Amino acid sequence: MRALFLTLTLSASLGLSALEPVDIAAMGKYQLSFVAATEVQEMTMPPQLAEVSYLPKSAMKIVAPFSPQQILFLVSDGSKVKKGQRIAQLSGSEVHHFMERYEAQQALMQQAENRYFESKKLFERQAINQEKWQQILTHYYDIKISFGHLQHFAEMFQSGEHDDEGFLVAQQTGIFIYPTAETQTEEMELGSIIEIKELRLLTKLPANYRQSIVQLKTSQCAIKVESVEPKSLGFNVNVWSESLTDNCALTLGDLIEVTPVLSISALEVPSDSIFSIQGITWIAKKQGQQLMPVRVDVIGKSGTSKLLIKQNATLNNAEILSQSVSALQGILLGLGAE
């Protein structure tokens, strides 16, 4: 025992990295029990706050080519809408002016299109020169672009009973979001529609977990992680899940607790198997008629009675001491097994 204590003292002066094995016979009357370490591929973190959100640029913005004098929203902010559903009433002289512009541009588009096809035949027969054909082409595409801009909004617009009113109609099923701010310009944002499939969980995790986070669990569902933003926010990074499923029963803006799941390569052992000497953690494995201390790194908890340690090839199929561990610790410290 004195030799073991001297070995421990020498190890401490050099930086403790190994302990001498202890004969099982030296454990005396203490009851010994052994367990096998269990390989673990996942580890859960403490619950984190997450928000139901959507990826930047995934919302379809609705922009009017004019600024209505009055907007009356027919649905609540963040409510679900169906394709073809009226979502806002637009009123004022600008509504009437838009319809006049659209009809005029539609007539010009028809005229330019007729001229384009007629002139194309003439150009192919060399009845008009290149310069004249180029002027016709330029005029045609200018009109087409201007008309297309108005036509896009006209597809989501329904006329009302009066010339100065109309209705904004949803072009797709999703969640309607009110515009963030009003701007008095020639164009005006009237809101956005987010498809249901774009809803995701967004949470923040320490940046050192960016490579290992694989899943976010809620009380209702488990969703795989889709992406981790490369830019750090202080010590954290934004983590995005895949699209939410129906069984998650969540909607845009919800704040909930999620349990992050990490992909790891670890071993699960009883908490009672772990002991510490000079701030270093150890377990003891059975090796013949001896107990061999093995240095381990604890990386997390598993439930209330087990710990996770880094994968260690020397512990594969090993019998790990799980009872009378404190007695072994006392022997290793030179205190005896009492």
CA distances from 323 to 30, 269, 282, 313, 316 (A): 9, 12, 14, 23, 19
The band of 8, judged by pLDDT with boundaries at 50, 70 and 90, is: very low
64/186 same-domain check? yes
The answer to whether position 147 is within a domain reads: yes
Domain count, the chain: 3
- Give the number of residues written for the chain: 338
- What CATH number should be reported for the domain holding residue 307? 2.40.420.20
Residue 337 lies in a domain: no
- Decide which of 216, 232, 264 is a domain's last residue: 264
Q: Is 89 inside any structural domain?
A: yes
Identify whether 210 is part of a domain.
yes
Question: Is there a single domain that holds both residue 171 and residue 215?
Answer: no
Dihedral sign for Cα atoms in the order 139, 145, 149, 152: positive
C-alpha to C-alpha distance for 166 and 153, rounded to whole angstroms: 12
Indicate the pTM of the whole model. 0.69
Instruction: Calculate the alpha carbon distances from 64 to 96, 153, 157, 183 in Å.
Output: 13, 6, 10, 12
d(CA 153, CA 128): 37
CA distance 147 to 113: 12
Final residue of a structural domain among 211, 230, 264: 264
| Residue 182 per-residue DSSP state | -
Are 236 and 281 contained in the same domain? no
Overall average pLDDT of the 49-69 stretch:
92
Amino acid at 2: R
Confidence band (pLDDT; 50, 70, 90) for 7? very low
User: Are 130 and 225 in the same domain?
Assistant: no
CATH number for 211: 2.40.30
Is residue 36 one of the residues assigned to a domain? yes
Could you give the CA distance from residue 81 to residue 173 in angstroms, rounded to a whole number? 6
Does residue 12 register a pLDDT over 80? Answer: no
My answer on whether 278 and 129 are in the same domain is: no
Q: Would the pLDDT of 13 be above 50?
A: no
Run of H or E residues at 270: strand 255-270
15 and 66, same structural domain? no
Closest CA to 172 of 89, 88, 251, 82: 82
Residue 206 lies in a domain: yes
Is residue 272 domain-shared with residue 227, that is, in the same domain?
no
Q: How far apart are CA 283 and CA 264, in angstroms?
A: 20
Of the candidates 338, 321, 323, the one whose C-alpha atom is nearest the C-alpha of residue 21 is 321
Do 186 and 70 lie in one domain? The reply is yes
Domain membership flag for residue 24: yes
Q: Is there a single domain that holds both residue 70 and residue 142? A: yes
- Going by pLDDT thresholds of 50, 70 and 90, the confidence category of residue 1 is very low
Tens-digit pLDDT profile for residues 153-200: 999 999 988 889 999 999 999 999 999 866 556 678 999 999 999 999
Range(s) of the domain holding residue 293: 2-41+266-332
Task: Render pLDDT for 252-304 as a digit per residue (tens, 0 to 9).
Answer: 999 999 999 999 889 999 999 999 998 899 999 999 999 999 999 998 888 78
**Domain assignment of residue 338, yes or no:** no
Q: Residues 65, 168: one domain?
A: yes
Both tokens assigned to 105: 């541009």
Q: Could you tell me if 272 and 259 lie in one domain?
A: no
Same domain, yes or no: 68 and 188:
yes
> Among the three residues 236, 264, 292, which one is the final residue of a domain in this structure?
264
What is the rounded CA–CA span in Å between residue 255 and residue 229? 20
pLDDT tens digits along 84-101? 999 999 999 999 999 999
Contact (Cβ atoms closer than 8 angstroms) between residue 218 and residue 251: no
Distance CA 68, CA 230 (A): 41
Rounded (5°) CA angle 56-167-92: 105
CA-only gyration radius of the chain, Å: 36
